[in-house]
Amino acid sequence: MLDIIASLESEVRSYVRKFPAVFRSAEGAWITDIEGQRYLDFFAGAGTLNYGHNNPLARQALLDYIAANGIQHSLDLATEAKALFLRDFHEIILQPRDLDYKIQMTGPTGTNAVEAAIKLARKVKQRSHVIAFTGAYHGNTLGALALTADRHYHHPFSGAAMNVTHLPYDGFLGDFETTKLLEKMLSHAGSGLPQPAAVIVETIQAQGGINVASPQWLRRVEAICRRYDLLLIVDDIQTGNGRTGDFFSFEQSGIRPDLVCLSKSLGGGMPLAMVLIDPKIDSWKPAEHTGTFRGNNLAFVAGRALLSYWRDRSLATSIAAHSRIIQDTLEQWKTQWNQPQWRLRGRGMLWGLDLVDGAFASEVVRRAFDAGLIIETSGIDGEVLKFLPPLTITHDDLQTGLARLGEALAASIRHPIAPWLTDPSLSLGATSALSHDA
């Protein structure tokens, strides 16, 4: 069946090239292909399946809803499914965190939420410019693409670089405190930076290489936004829904964004995206921002069932325990294989192991897939192994997946394609050059 995909689907297809199997079924942390081969999934739909494949709570709710002829499509008409989702999201997620947001349903993907957020920010502030950060990934539609930093996604004819300035993310300039540059650019009339409408930030840059902003840095960014009358937008599309341990990734820092973009795991695998809006800036006129699929009733049903995980702290406690296992294992690998240049970064159940060399990381991913584990890379050169197992994974499945990845790493080290693995004296700069030449 792969030949059907290759002959009929556009060349833009991506993950099927890296994971060449035809999948048929999935449950929990496991996905099975048409040959009966089972794979542990540490990719989880790039963070879309935080609650696992075919989560039983969501599955039963969907089966009951469909059997009762529940409404599937409704534009933004009032439906029981939407009302119940909104009520429970408010009561279970927002109220306990003392958060007061209006909720906008956008088109069904994360990039739709980003488009709506920056469009509203520009409308509210009557300014067109937005500040994003180095390493950022916010999507591939035209407005969101302008915010995305990686040159891989840009073309000179796309016209997507307008009205956005990228400034250094936390750690991008080593120990230099990059918020000083942000404030200097805003305060100095000769900086060339127009007065922006907003700053958009990921608290952890997942696609960018698992770059983690410190709580102190995020608080400084927020303070600068308040000082210079900018709206603060947090893109929590991949890092929200519990991925970092709390429901929102910004909870640890204590900041209060004006706008929050959510999607991916919100609908439990069903497409759903929304923007949380400070009521003071909810200045939309009716139908000023629309979309045929602005609110997916099936996703409301599935997403509402999954909100039950947040009625107490049991899932957060499990995430913390699994986080320690992942971190300890990665530290052990660095020591075991004498690879001091490897770096690990992350929080909760979003971790990255920076292997320095993208070609080597790709080899590890290939060997892991052959061993029955799906894991993706991130970072500008694909040099970071990106850990995204379902939050609901069992202890045994987590250990099995880590063992399979450890075997793939060991096999790749024994048969190195990156010279620094056998000669640690090679500099990181030389490593990069060798990787690019390959």
- Residues 130 and 236 occupy one common structural domain: yes
Q: What is the pLDDT of residue 417?
A: 54
- Residues 39 and 101 occupy one common structural domain: no
Quickly list H helices, 201-357: 215-227, 297-306, 314-336
H/E stretch holding 373 reads strand 373-374
Identify the domain containing residue 370 by its residue range: 2-55+313-437
Alpha-carbon 28 to chain mean position: 20
Number of domains observed in the structure of the chain: 2
Domain boundary (280, 295, 310) is at 310
CATH of the domain at 243: 3.40.640.10
Domain boundary (249, 275, 310) is at 310
> Exposed/middle/buried for 428, CB within 10 Å: 0-12, 13-18, 19+?
exposed
Q: State how far the Cα of 154 lies from the Cα of 168, in Å rounded to an integer.
A: 19
Integer angstrom CA distances of residue 151 from 115, 121, 209, 226, 430 = 20, 25, 15, 31, 22
> Exposed/middle/buried for 183, CB within 10 Å: 0-12, 13-18, 19+?
middle
**Under 8 Å between Cβ of 268 and 60:** no
- Residues 77 and 33 occupy one common structural domain: no
> Is 65 within a domain?
no
**Under 8 Å between Cβ of 295 and 76:** yes
- Residues 34 and 76 occupy one common structural domain: no
> Is 141 within a domain?
yes
> Is 60 within a domain?
no
- Written as six digits, the tokens of 229 are 């009358």
Which value, to the nearest 10 degrees, does the dihedral of the CA atoms of residues 390, 393, 395, 398 take?
-50
Q: How do 38-41 and 30-33 pair as beta strands? A: antiparallel
Q: What is the tens place of the pLDDT at every residue in 273-320? A: 999 999 999 999 999 999 999 999 999 999 999 999 999 999 999 999
**Under 8 Å between Cβ of 341 and 335:** no
> Is 62 within a domain?
no
Domain boundary (310, 341, 357) is at 310
> Is 267 within a domain?
yes
Q: What is the pLDDT of residue 438?
A: 24
Residues forming a β-bridge with 23: 33
- Residues 375 and 283 occupy one common structural domain: no
Integer angstrom CA distances of residue 3 from 8, 9, 16, 374 = 8, 10, 11, 21
- Residues 394 and 339 occupy one common structural domain: yes
**Under 8 Å between Cβ of 383 and 355:** yes
- Residues 262 and 348 occupy one common structural domain: no
Long-range own/partner contacts, residues 366-369 (CB < 8 A, 24 or more apart)? 366/18, 367/407, 367/408, 367/411, 367/412, 368/404, 368/405, 368/408, 369/18, 369/19, 369/39
- Residues 213 and 289 occupy one common structural domain: yes
Q: State how far the Cα of 273 lies from the Cα of 402, in Å rounded to an integer.
A: 31
Ranges of the chain with pLDDT below 50: 418-438
Strand 259-262's sheet: what is its strand order? 102-105, 274-277, 259-262, 231-235, 198-201, 130-133, 164-167
Q: What is the pLDDT of residue 404?
A: 97
Listed residue (278, 351, 313) closest to 44, CA to CA: 351
- Residues 171 and 36 occupy one common structural domain: no
> Is 22 within a domain?
yes
**Under 8 Å between Cβ of 216 and 109:** no
**Percent helix, strand, coil in the chain (nearest 5)?**
40, 15, 40
CATH of the domain at 420: 3.90.1150.10
> Is 20 within a domain?
yes
Listed residue (240, 270, 248) closest to 109, CA to CA: 270
Q: What is the tens place of the pLDDT at every residue in 105-158? A: 999 999 999 999 999 999 999 999 999 999 999 999 989 999 999 888 888 777
- Residues 83 and 200 occupy one common structural domain: yes
- Residues 147 and 114 occupy one common structural domain: yes
**The length of the chain, given as a count of residues:** 438
Listed residue (248, 261, 224) closest to 120, CA to CA: 261
> Is 93 within a domain?
yes
- φ, ψ for residue 321 (rounded to 5)? -65, -45
Query: Looking up tokens 């939050």, which residue turns up?
Result: 391
- Residues 224 and 101 occupy one common structural domain: yes
Q: State how far the Cα of 27 lies from the Cα of 29, in Å rounded to an integer.
A: 6
